[in-house]
Structure 1
Amino acid sequence: MSSSDAPPPTKPKQINLLRGWPSPHLLPADLLSAACQRVLADPVESVPILQYAPDPGYQPLRERLAQWLGQHYGVEPDANRICITGGASQNLACILQSFTDPHYTRAVWMVAPCYHLSFGMFEDAGFAGRLRAAPEDDEGLDVEELERRLAAWESAEKLGSHQEPKPFKNPGPYRKLYRHIIYVVPTCSNPSGKTLSVQRRESLVKLARKYDALVVCDDVYEFLQWPLEGPTTAQRPPEMRLPRLCDIDMSLGRAEIDPQGFGHTVSNGSFSKIAGPGVRTGWAEGTPAFALGLSKTASSMSGGAPSQLCAAMLADLLRTGELANFIDTKTRPALQRRHRIMMNAVKQYLAPLGVVSQESSIQGQSIYGGYFVWLTLTQGPSGLLVSDAALREENIVLGRGNMFAVRGDEEGAKFDNAIRLCFSWEPEEALIDGVRRLGLLLQRMQANVGYYEKLVAGVTDSDRPVSSWV
């Protein structure tokens, strides 16, 4: 390596392009503070708010969510379809407790690339070794390929055994056990940013009904979408109102294999990205039978629905319209601006080096959203080499592609030549500087790939940042 190609002698200031947190400027602390004072001011209201909550959650929040979501998606509001949760992650654990069995439920099918911190939640529920990749194509989750893999699994099971597995759990009258779980982020998927079309959504619901699967939809970016072209405004594009899978499922009526009406999809929503992760409040929406069954999770029945105080605060902000206004006028325009800043930097500093972005690979895409951009390295070093060198030489933390391969089924969908960058956390000027420094690094690496391959030898995943950044 020549002196001109050498890395900087000292590490510059760290830029974290892995951390999927909202910028501190997008936390509505003043709104939450005022709402807290309002809901606690009257003892008639504050006493039940500070007591144990009803199992399905704080009723005013259920009702106001039903109105807000119903208006947004154009469906009939029904609070009985909603169960208040402690956020999307906590609720995923509750869904697995209540509607799966590690002996009866065959497998968990996960969109790939996948949100990397979800693997442990499924493994904690007893599904280690049974996580399977459901790969994406240019339009998101490839439903036809998923069905081929599901059918192959079912055929192999029939050849291996003629006995139906006996579950360990007794679901009782309010719940059921599903044969398969399908985990997907239908809108602005993390990490790829892809959004499923209406046709794909309908096909996925029908597939779930055919194989007695429950589709768990991480619907956390639904309100964080914007046009790729045009001014940075509060305008909500009509394309962001694609029907949720739970609404498609409801519109089809009860499936023949589902006489109790639990349905085959659940929308796992959260206030983390729109009001702050610290509020630890979310919601699940499915059929009334599913919402009731979810509320029967024993931990909720013992302690009451989680996040009662924050649920009351958020219900107040929905009542006043302040939260919706904050999203429309501050959160979404800021994310749109940040995304545009990062993509302009990617085009300037990375595209000439053979880096392809997700947006540029889909013709006619006009809407984007979420927190992340997914980049493919078409020449030179792998994503693993780049992520290690970025941290070591440029003090840049980023997501390496294979971090998002489904654990235990990495061969089912590989992402060796991809990286994920987050545009929501760092200051705007750091987004530009981070991408610029990454471009300088790639220039050095493409000229000296062998040198960097030797450096990465012996480095294990335990030496790399993962668990503390989402």
Structure 2
Amino acid sequence: MSTRTSPPTLPFAARADTLVGSVIDSSTSLLAAQSHDIVRFAMGSPAAEAIPTEVLAEIGTKTIGAGSPDAFDYAATEGDMPLRVALLDELDGTSDATTLERLTITSGGMQGLDLAFKIFVDPGDLVVVESPTYTNGSATALSYQADLLEVAVDDDGMVVEALPELVERAGRTPKVIYTIPTFQNPSGATLSLARREQLLELAREWGSMLIDDDPYGLLRFAGSEVPTLHELADGDPLVYSVRTFSKIVAPGLRVGWLDTDPSLQRLLINAKQAMDTCTNLPAQRLLTGFLTGGHLDTHLATQRREYRLRKETMKEALTEHFDGVARWTDPEGGFFLWMTFEPAIDTEKLFEVALAEGVAFIPGNAFSPDRRFPDALRMCFASTPPDRIREGLARLRSAVDRLAGS
């Protein structure tokens, strides 16, 4: 009997080298392994107390229990019809108003992104991404072997006017443009109306798919509404809109939706059937009950008030501890605030010290495939109550001073 003396050579696909893990998602396991108290600004999720657990449990008893014998069966790949209809009614009159044939239910917003890159991106295709951008979005593009072109973000979102020169320099037009236009992750910035219109014009000129990833648009707590890219596109098939219930109801349900040209739905169904057959039906039924029961509007109003309070608390604490040391964004909604140290501090080194001090964040380089933000970090204000926000930023200042002293 032979004895193996070296590990086998496994027949990896060429794309295996392009699979990039998520620093954000990995932070969940990292923080769970810590035994000391930590103020958690890292994960971009609603606060535990913001999830309507009792309402969902009551709905579950009625709609998934004895009253719904098929609740644990397979669902239609495009989504359970009662949820699609309830969602259609909920969106009526909003900037995301749509029609039934444009809606596809997905397993979270991430599946919507994966489907987009799977359907539209070939190896070597150019994909425009914001810089900084959502780690998981750029990682998904890379998993389909895209070449990424990073475009800067300022207080008005993606610097769209820089795109033509960047594309000319790249020597080819992008196959896909990926944007988070409202309360962007990680900066919190919102793409201005003028830039939204210009971005649509460029997508049409180049024939580029425009992935409109908007998980936070319903969480505006200040400022004026801006029409969504979906509304401005007026049915243009180049606009592919990704939405999710993860940020507005509960992330663990893993339910989102796509709004796309009806001609795409058969292809989306084919691609999704090769992934998971259908989105979790019990979760769809829970959300149907939540929507038809009239709970979403009340829930969102409560969350907007609370998130505004938490953001203002974070701004006040930042001014107290970091005035003259850093600058930060001032989002009008969503979950995130982006902080840049001046003079620069290596936030990856700071992360280790801060974790020991009892506070966690995501270092800026995680949000750029080219690692362009070594002196920045992202903090989620939505998941932490005001008193803990103040404590967390005091701990962060201690960590900065400790790092400087070392």
- Please classify the TM superposition score into its range, dividing by the shorter chain length: 0.7 to 0.9
Amino acid at match of 2:73: Q
Match of 1:376 in 2: 340
User: Is residue 218 of structure 1 aligned with residue 189 of structure 2?
Assistant: no
Match of 1:308 among 281, 290, 300: 281
Q: Aligned partners of 2:262, 2:96: CA distance in 1, in Å?
A: 18
Match of 2:298 in 1: 325
Q: Aligned partners of 2:332, 2:313: CA distance in 1, in Å?
A: 14
Q: Aligned partners of 1:390, 1:348: CA distance in 2, in Å?
A: 18
Q: Aligned partners of 1:381, 1:99: CA distance in 2, in Å?
A: 39
Q: Aligned partners of 1:151, 1:334: CA distance in 2, in Å?
A: 45
CA contact (8 A) 1:66 1:78 kept: yes
Q: Percent identity?
A: 26
Q: Aligned partners of 1:208, 1:350: CA distance in 2, in Å?
A: 40
Amino acid at match of 1:24: A
Amino acid at match of 2:374: D
Q: Aligned partners of 1:54, 1:306: CA distance in 2, in Å?
A: 8
The within-5 A match list for 1:262-301 is 263-297=237-271, 299-300=272-273
Q: CA deviation at 1:135?
A: 1.3
Larger Rg: 1
CA contact (8 A) 1:86 1:282 kept: yes
User: Is residue 114 of structure 1 aligned with residue 98 of structure 2?
Assistant: no
CA contact (8 A) 1:216 1:266 kept: yes
Q: CA deviation at 1:67?
A: 2.3
Q: Aligned partners of 2:354, 2:64: CA distance in 1, in Å?
A: 48
Mark the runs of 5 or more structure 2 residues left unpaired by the alignment. Answer: 1-34
CA contact (8 A) 1:52 1:303 kept: no
Q: How many residues align?
A: 372
The within-5 A match list for 1:43-192 is 46-47=69-70, 49-73=71-95, 75=97, 77-102=98-123, 106-127=125-146, 130-154=147-171, 180-192=175-187
Give the TM-score normalised by the residue count of structure 2: 0.84
Q: CA deviation at 1:193?
A: 0.4
Mark the runs of 5 or more structure 1 residues left unpaired by the alignment. Answer: 1-10, 158-178, 228-236, 254-262, 360-366, 452-470
Match of 1:354 in 2: 325
Amino acid at match of 1:96: F
3-state SS in 2 of match to 1:21 = coil
Cα RMSD of the aligned pairs, angstroms, is: 2.3
Match of 2:58 in 1: 34
Q: CA deviation at 1:430?
A: 1.8
Amino acid at match of 2:285: A
Amino acid at match of 1:108: V
Q: CA deviation at 1:87?
A: 0.5
Match of 1:404 among 367, 373, 376: 367
Match of 2:21 in 1: none
CA contact (8 A) 1:83 1:292 kept: no
Amino acid at match of 2:143: D
Provide, for residues 253-278 of structure 1, a one-character-per-residue CA deviation record: whole Å limited to 9, x for no partner: 5xxxxxxxxx1111111111111111
CA contact (8 A) 2:105 2:258 kept: yes
